A and B are shown apart, each in its own frame.
Chain A
Amino acid sequence: MKKIQLEICCGTACYILGASKLVGIEERLPEEWRDCVDVNILPCLDLCTSEKLDGAPFVRIDGAIVAKATPERILERIQNILEGDTLESANNLNDNNNIKVNEVDTENFNGGEK
């Protein structure tokens, strides 16, 4: 099975706005998930333009952006994917948390479906 790709933006803006607390998240994953998730630390994903700065920190999970990422939201998204949910739930996740990033980068959302 293809592993879930979790990409954490460690550009400085994301990092100081919370990504510092996401580094090392692999250790917080439930034991049984660890083989299913690849965690990558990336330089700036270029999502932190001034209009969207308050969406930081950003992570990308299988191509879909999660804004205002927290360990809890990341785990929630991974669980959704493991349970077979598709991209729609990623958008719902952002909606539920009242974060408007759906329009930030639709390319990446589409990329997730490929």
Chain B
Amino acid sequence: MINGSQYLRRDLMIRLVRAFDSEEFEKELDRIPIKLRPRTEASSRCCIYRDRAVLKYRLMCLLGFVCEEETDEARTLESYYREALTRTENNRVESVTDGINSNNNGTNDLDIAKKDDDNIEDKDVKSAKNPDRFRTVNTPLSVCFAGCSSCPDARVVVTGNCRGCFARPCMYNCPKGAISIVNQVSTIDYSKCIKCGKCISVCPFNAIVRTTIPCEEACPVGAIHKDVTGHASIDFSKCIFCGKCFSQCPFGAVMERSQLIDILIELKRGTHLTAMIAPSASSQFPGTIEQLFTAVSKIGFSDVIEVALGAELTTRNEGEEFLERMSKGEHLMTTSCCPAYVELVRKHYPAFLKNVSDTPSPMLYAAALARKNDPESKLVFIGPCIAKRVEAKRNGIDYVLSFEELGAILAGKKIDVIACESWKLPRAAAATARNYSKSCGVTQAVLEEITADNPDLKLNSKFIDGIDKKTVNLLKLYESGKLPANFLEVMACGGGCVSGPTSLSK
């Protein structure tokens, strides 16, 4: 089942796309929250006014702003939209100067893409962890003040189910002696409680429960916390953009800075846009991947390419890199295609960065291929990932569209994937490359690539399927050799990209 928060998010996107095509769009924008939450209907939060406020902030994020950027609460959505219009006009200039200017050999990705090489060489695309690739860009995530419910602190609570029984297993099993019986009810001394939960598991009446703050619980790196106002706030010096808070907040208060409106504007202007579709697309929509490509071209994209073609290059080069590193006597190499993982290493375990592959991600290779096909075209990566928004921005890829947003555009324009004919792919990407989106997919592809020619290679591949609070420690164990492995795949989302935060198939 999809949940209410996903439903509202997608529903609003579809409405925005449909409204965009109407003539009165600018004027209508500020009416959307009122239309959706009329005074005559029940509210889903404390009152319709708060519902409307949250809808306004959602729309603000869909217009490409984050709630934290608000300086004037009275500013209209119409005014934000006008800023989006000028932003898209300036976009090309910014991405070229920002993203593609400093390569070691003085050329840039665009120049390289114009060369007539049959293949994109490794040097043509910048390394996955080149320092200037980590420059600060606009934050992709936002916590909506009006949406956040200021969840009560995480702790262990005795509920009314407690009967003050004679056995008192809670009291006898508490390792810290934090529980006593006061007035025939089990009572926790919070100065002693360590939230271990022993009492919860031994209570015969299920009287003790744990309260949680879902975003804090979900964050693998402790980057989201309640601030002085009691609302959640993200510390971007720690955030790895994995999007777990975004998926887990039951109030839908964590939002993405969207580029949906920019793409709608560009499409209306007739800008050349190349859609680069991530391998995880295969499980997102009904119908075949070829039908999906046709559907995307019907939106108005001038070209559509498979990112899996870039994954083929990642596979080949990552395989070579692995062999080279092993021949130099290194003991461990990890994958680098998951941007949230690379961000994790950079921000939380920089000493480990040397083990992360230098091979660029499939998106970056696909971008080079796309630029070769049409140097004038702006590039739009379409995938299920929030961290890719940052990777794209740092690498001069113009826009990122989530699968949810793509679905909303298709739904808004009434394009049915299953009613589309098949797109004629110039060449279908290898099955192993298309499989990148699933856990172990990268490992399989790379190992298949190198084991054929290197039968004596001693391979020991392991994978981390989903980043959590223990991942950094796990990496330390691999680094020290206490856990043996020479090839390590790390995916921030359990199950791989197909379970990404904005995946439709989750």
Contacts and interface: CB of A to CB of B under 8 A. Distances in A.
Given A18-B1, A21-B2, A10 B418 contact: yes
Given A16-B408, A23-B286, A54-B11, A10 B1 contact: no
A53 B32 CA distance: 14
A16 B416 contact: no
A15 B415 CA distance: 12
B410 interface: yes
A12 B411 contact: yes
B407 A16 contact: yes
Contact of B7 (A10, A11, A18): A18
A17 B414 contact: no
A110 interface: no
B10 interface: yes
B418 A13 contact: no
B1 A21 contact: yes
Given A43-B418, A44-B416, A11 B411 contact: yes
B457 interface: no
Interface in A27-43: 41, 43
A94 interface: no
A20 B404 CA distance: 13
A96 interface: no
B55 to A, nearest CB: 13
A53 B411 CA distance: 10
A6 to B, nearest CB: 16
Chain B CB within 10 Å, residue with most, of A10, A12, A15, A54: A12
B126 to A, nearest CB: 34
Interface in A44-66: 44, 48, 50, 53-54, 56
B15 interface: yes
The interface residues of chain B, by DSSP majority, are classed as: helix
B2 A41 contact: no
A41 B295 CA distance: 18
Nearest to B416: A43
Contacts of B1: 18, 21, 70
Contact of A12 (B7, B11, B416): B416
B380 interface: no
A54 B505 CA distance: 20
Interface residues of A, number: 20
Contacts of B408: 16
B463 interface: no
Contacts of A23: 286
Contacts of B7: 17-18
B168 interface: no
Given A12-B407, A12-B410, A53-B14, A17 B2 contact: yes
B291 to A, nearest CB: 11
B10 A17 contact: yes
A21 B179 CA distance: 45
Interface in B1-34: 1-2, 7, 10-11, 14-15, 18
B499 to A, nearest CB: 14
Interface string B404-446: 1001101100111111000000000000000000000000000
Interface in B123-150: none
B285 A12 contact: yes
Contacts of A53: 11, 14-15
A48 B11 CA distance: 11
A13 B14 contact: yes
Given A17-B11, A20-B504, A50-B18, A12 B415 contact: yes
B281 to A, nearest CB: 13
B407 A15 contact: yes
Contacts of A70: 1
A56 B417 CA distance: 17
B407 A41 contact: no
A43 B415 CA distance: 10
B402 to A, nearest CB: 11
Interface string B468-506: 000000000000000000000000000000000000110
Interface of A: 10-13, 15-18, 20-21, 23, 41, 43-44, 48, 50, 53-54, 56, 70
30 contacts: A10-B416, A10-B418, A11-B414, A12-B410, A12-B411, A12-B414, A12-B416, A12-B417, A13-B14, A13-B411, A13-B414, A15-B285, A15-B286, A15-B504, A16-B407, A16-B411, A18-B1, A18-B2, A18-B7, A20-B505, A21-B2, A41-B286, A43-B416, A43-B418, A43-B419, A44-B414, A44-B419, A53-B11, A54-B11, A70-B1
Given A12-B295, A15-B417, A23-B286, 9 more contacts: A11-B411, A12-B407, A12-B411, A13-B411, A16-B407, A16-B408, A44-B414, A50-B18, A53-B15
